[in-house]
Chains A and B, each alone.
Chain A
Amino acid sequence: MPEQPVVGRPVPRKEGRDKVTGRARYIDDLNFPGMLYGTTVRSPVARGRIREIIFGDGIPWDEFVIVTARDVPGENCVALILFDQPYLAGEQVNHAEEPVVLLAHPDKHLLEEARRAVRLDIEPLPAVFSLDESLAQKEIIWGEDNVFKSFLVDKGNVDAAWESADFIIEGEYRTGAQEQLYIENNGVIAVADAGEGVTVWGSMQCPYYVHKALMKLFDLPETKIRVVQVATGGGFGGKEEYPSMIAGHAALLAWKAGKPVKIVYDRAEDMAATTKRHPSLTRHRTAVTRDGKLLAMEIDFTVDGGAYATLSAVVLSRGTIHAAGPYLCPNVRVKSRAVATNVPPHGAFRGFGAPQSIFALERQMNKVARTLGLSPEEFRRRNFIRAGETTATGQVIHEEADLAGLLERAFELSDYREKQERFAVENETSRTKRGIGFASFMHGAGFTGSGEKYLESVVGAEADTGGRVRILAASTEIGQGTNTIFAQIAAEALRLDYDQIDIAQPDTANVPNSGPTVASRTCMIVGKLVESAALGLKQTLVQSGFLADDYTPEEFRAACGRYVEKFGALKSFSQYKQPPDINWDDEKYQGDAYGAYAWAVYVAEVSVDTLTYEAHVEDFVAVQEVGRVIHPVLAAGQIEGGVAQGIGFALYENVVWQAGRMVNNQMTNYIIPTSADIPPIRVYFDERTTTTTTSGAATSGAKGIGELPMDGPAPAIMNAIEHAIGVSINHAPLMPESLMRMMGGELVEV
């Protein structure tokens, strides 16, 4: 038996050796015999009617495979939530970069020449380019009112609370689009024919999403569609829904060509055409008493969904539920909506709506504190939610939820109080102003509400004659460490060595649907299923008399050998069962929104250069309670990576739009933080192994951490900038150009 428990130990990453030696094979590293390359001809205009597709001169078109909307064998829509997005626009385009024609050819260079030679004759229609224009219904571009989805969360009686308020504080906050910028672009290879069906290999987070989409696109039964995830170079949500699109495109070409087709985007195409974080607008109206107690919060939250519904409803949902944050307030009303614009659909990105609404809330909390004459921490302390109290959706918190304790710890680690005072003095004379600020927040782990119940995720485990155990799940390794933590959890459950556990490649032909790799659910929800599937192997062996309850790894091996010899195979499956005490009302948006919450306080220290209006983060402390930490190095890596993306969201990453197109779609001009821009990030886990969560027994004891670190940095940084220069920043990203305007920098008189 291993000497110490494998869970909680920083075992080496399963695929680490392949990654550091360059042996890991990503989609663009694979080639099939006879393979063609595919490319996409996209709309240059944001909205219009397609009059004609013109194939220009000088290209040997007879050598090309050409696919348009007319070639779709099944339904021309990407099956997700609503079926409104076509794979290929037929009569009308609704956003720039919308796919219209697909081309394939063995020579990828000639393919580019051909792509340029296709001209789309499109009659332009009036278009809507911003959330504000959509809300104002400047043009109706989707449904009856441009609204994909709206929610209302109503707790207590907000309308009755205003009268008894000592102060009512209003605020308006905006966040911009953000590109996921995984370093590996989207890519797939497809093989398809009428007899065998369709197989797709690719870079993706959710093989079964792709599987579902391809069934509809080709009108084929599930057994005729196979989707395989290969090594994936980052996702962050950007490979949640989009792979269904590119996989469909490659498969359509392969279907027509009768040959394998590879489509791998280059950076410019990936940035311009694929999903980004939803831009948002949040309005707050907050009622408080003179002694700093929250009385009422009225929150109006809008996200820009882009041209099609895609996942906007779900992103909106998470943003809506997190909008009131980790505070106790008797009266809360959150009204929210996702609206349509004629830009490429926005989609999943780490945090999934929560970073947007939390940004607004944590800026508003500072504003309210200032109005009250309280410090930001004192005001929050008086309102932090505690065990037994209810959230905006009426969920009773069963966790310890010690935000005051986390706050104290974060302040100690960051020397918050000392720096607050010192910077105020130093800033009097210094041209570089420094500031320190924080944000406190929570993030719900797993799918919202009844999501997990409907998913009914399944994980399998199988053992071979040598006693090697293989975990069968569709949960993908995208860098976050799925393979490693699953192996740890299985090893601990079976009291085997970590190296004795393998993780099957996610392949819909071989693994059950353990649900999408999203929503910080993999460790918490799927991890528990891994544990029970693994334990199922042991139970089978024990029940069949091959193994005693107490065993050595040797005995386990021998038992597996005997069992497989006798019965042919040793497999076990485990399916998610929602605990009976979780209640969620999808209509009223009331109840237990999430099975568990991670709690956090992040502190940012910034400097603002008054010559250049550039702000930089100089130090960062991330304190969180996330339940049980399965792998301390991977967990810290998740937090650090999320914080870095949060810093980018706050200070660097600005999507420049022109007529609905991203025009800075290069890494040179859409800038993410480099190693020189990231401060020391000190990560601290307040580990409570005995934590009680609403979903208790249905989880591995770990709460999700993937998305949490995206929520806190932007508001903490803006709060720190406010401390440094006394200017209130209510939008992200904060580029130096806008900071200049806000600091009153004026044009030199000419």
Chain B
Amino acid sequence: MRAYLPNYELRVPRDAGEALALLADEPGVWRPFAGGTDVMVLLEADKLAHRKFFSIRHLTELRGIDVTPEHVTLGALSTYTDVQRDATMQREFPMLCQAAFETGGLAIQNRGTLGGNIANASPAADSPPALLAYDAQVELVSTGGARWVAYSDFHTGYKQTVMRPDELIARIRLPRGVAAGWTQYARKVGTRRAQAISKVCFAGVARMKGALLEDVRMAFGSVAPTVVRCVRTESLLKGQRLDAATIDAARAELAREIVPIDDIRSTAGYRLQVASNLLEEFLRRLRAG
């Protein structure tokens, strides 16, 4: 443990109301602490810049997976294990289950939460590409009330989000439309087969009408300052026949849409090439039916 703990605080509010009050009273001073799987790593390495936290892990209001005809709604504190175990999630949202399965080992999956993964805003996080492809919405709550924002609008820059300092992520909502008639394809690339940090992460859903691509949503992780929904490549593809020319054009468009970098895990060139390959693989699968 490299950090000097007396410099830090971790409070335990009684309930969600008290947690929101803490956020409202001193906006920006207090931050929520959920499963700890990211924050504790930074603390251990003495790289945790923020000092004051409050634990929300015990707030049962933020747990649970609720299924209605239109949506599956996951409490922000749903762990990766919760996600994988839910029957509706397995059936309709396999890409999110896969992302949960591929996040760390079991011990991480038992602690890490979906809300924490979103709030942490790492461009290399595993679940966001699937959430983007599923057109997820995020509920932000504060003492002033609640609002739903489209997850595609959530991240505004590296580690920047639309959240106000007095807000907490309460729930994540997935529209249930993709279960029938859509093809889903996700792939995490991280050199080894388990417990990897992604170098490129892809998730895409699409619906064909005959030989034409009717609708598509796709997203990448680890190729830009935030996870990215590739709207330009999507619009290029919509209504197109997936022939070689379209695939080439899509690859080229993707290269303009993502901005991968070199870092200690990989290179910009590799990320770009593999992202394009995964896009092509997705399109080939769609074409093959």
Q: Which residues of A contact B (CB under 8 A)?
A: 108-110, 112-113, 116, 266, 268, 610-614, 616, 652, 656, 663-664, 666, 668-669, 671, 673-677, 735-737, 740-741, 745-750
B191 and A652 within 8 A (CB): yes
- Counting residue pairs across A and B whose Cβ atoms lie within 8 Å, the total is 96
Enumerate 15 A-B pairs (CB-CB under 8 Å) in ascending A order.
A109-B1, A109-B5, A112-B4, A268-B45, A612-B278, A671-B192, A676-B194, A677-B193, A736-B266, A737-B270, A740-B274, A741-B269, A747-B272, A748-B251, A748-B272
The closest CB in chain A to the CB of B194 belongs to A676
| Main secondary structure on A side of the interface with B | loop
Chain B residue at minimum C-beta to C-beta distance from A611: B277
**Closest partner residue, chain B, to A648 (CB atom):** B192
**Bound: A614/B45 CA distance, A:** 30
Q: Is B212 among interface residues, defined by CB-CB distance under 8 A? A: no
When chains A and B are docked, how far (Å) is the Cα of A666 from the Cα of B2? Answer: 14
Q: Quick one: closest B residue to A750, CB to CB?
A: B255
A612, chain B: closest CB distance, angstroms: 5
Q: In the complex, which of the residues B2, B195, B265 contacts A112, with contact meaning CB atoms closer than 8 Å?
A: B2
Interface residues on B, range: 35 or more
Say yes or no: A671 contacts B272, CB within 8 Å: no
Interface residues of B (CB under 8 A from A): 1-6, 41, 45-46, 187, 189, 191-197, 199-200, 251-252, 254-256, 264-267, 269-270, 272-274, 276-278, 281
Shortest Cβ distance from residue A744 to the other chain B in the assembled complex, whole angstroms: 11
Decide: A736 and B191 in contact? CB cutoff 8 A: yes
- Distance in angstroms from B143 CB to nearest chain A CB is 36
Query: In the docked arrangement, what's the CA distance between A82 and B252, Å?
Result: 58
- Asked whether A112 lies within 8 Å of B264 as measured between CB atoms, the reply is no
A610 CA / B284 CA spacing, docked (Å): 14
Distance in angstroms from B63 CB to nearest chain A CB is 28
B266 lies within 8 A of A737 (CB): yes
Q: How far is the CB of B203 from chain A (nearest CB, A)?
A: 15
Q: Which residues of B contact A611 (CB under 8 A)?
A: 187, 274, 277-278, 281
Task: Judge whether A612 and B2 touch: CB under 8 Å.
Answer: no
- CA–CA, A748 to B273, complex, Å? 6
Q: Is the CB of B192 within 8 A of A748?
A: no
CA A652 – CA B274 in complex, angstroms?
A: 18
Given the complex of chains A and B, what is the CA–CA distance between A746 and B255 in angstroms?
12
What residues of A have a CB within 8 angstroms of the CB of B193 in the complex? 616, 674, 676-677
Specify which of B41, B252, B272, B274 is in contact with A612 (CB 8 Å cutoff).
B274
For residue A673, which residue of chain B has the nearest CB?
B192
A124 to chain B, nearest CB (A): 23
Q: Is the CB of A748 within 8 A of B191?
A: no
A663 contact set on B, CB distance < 8 A: 264
A113: nearest chain-B partner, CB-CB: B4
Given A109-B1, A669-B265, A737-B266 in contact, is the A746-B273 Cβ separation under 8 Å? yes
Beyond A612-B278, A656-B264, A663-B264, 20 extra complex contacts between A and B, CB < 8 Å = A112-B3, A112-B46, A113-B4, A266-B1, A610-B277, A611-B187, A614-B189, A652-B192, A671-B191, A674-B193, A735-B191, A736-B189, A736-B191, A736-B270, A740-B269, A740-B270, A740-B274, A747-B269, A749-B255, A750-B256
The CA of A737 and the CA of B5, in the complex, are separated in Å by 39
> Could you tell me the distance between the alpha carbons of A268 and B276 in the complex, rounded to whole angstroms?
35
Cα distance, A112 to B4, chains bound together (Å)? 7
Known: A112-B4, A749-B255. A677 touches B194 (CB 8 A): yes
Query: When chains A and B are docked, how far (Å) is the Cα of A674 from the Cα of B194?
Result: 7
